[in-house]
Amino acid sequence: MLVEAWVDGGGAVAFSSVLESGGPDFDDSARTAVERSAFRPARLDGREVASRVSLRIHFRLQ
């Protein structure tokens, strides 16, 4: 599945959306995991700026 995250200038996820679904239960879990993550913000001209990132999420069932 594929999740898109909007990362603010501080590295926190401001918003996320599912671009390629893995099913409702997996979608919710993937978005929760991404939204709880912290990222290194993008930089433009030496300043930290908001950006978008696409993340491929893989679940392994045991």
Radius of gyration of the chain (CA): 13
Closest CA to 11 of 46, 53, 58, 45: 53
The model's pLDDT over 3-56, given as tens digits with 9 standing for 90+, comes to: 999 999 999 999 999 999 999 889 999 999 999 999 999 999 999 999 999 999
Q: Give residue 60's pLDDT band: very low, low, confident or very high (50, 70, 90).
A: confident
**Domain residue spans in the chain?**
2-56
Structure tokens of 6? 């909007």
CB atoms within 10 A of CB 16: 21
pLDDT at 62: 84
pLDDT at 61: 81
Structure tokens of 13? 């996820």
Closest CA to 14 of 46, 38, 44, 30: 38
